[in-house]
Amino acid sequence: MCSAGCAALSALSRAGGPLRRAVHPVVMTRTALEAKLARGERFIARVARGQKIFLSGDANEFAELAEDRAA
């Protein structure tokens, strides 16, 4: 039996075909994301500025999280 995380990874793997590129998901807790934003990590900063496909939540939730760290 596959967990929800396993199912999401399987769906992302299949998505690579139509996109013609590999999909490399990065999964982290909210606490880890907040810490990385606060440290200004380049990868996270690039993700924050770039285009996203949300599996959970939406752009408004992500923006609120990023704004909390910018204050």
SS (H, E, C) the chain: CCCHHHHHHHHHHHHHHHHCCCCCCCCCCHHHHHHHHHHCCHHHHHHHHCCCCCCCCCHHHHHHHHHHHHC
The mean pLDDT of the chain is: 79
What is the model's pLDDT at position 41?
93
User: What is the percent of the chain where pLDDT is above 90?
Assistant: 8
Please state the domain extents for the chain: 4-70
| pLDDT one-digit tens code per residue, 32-61 | 988 998 899 998 888 888 887 776 778 888
The predicted model scores a pTM of 0.57
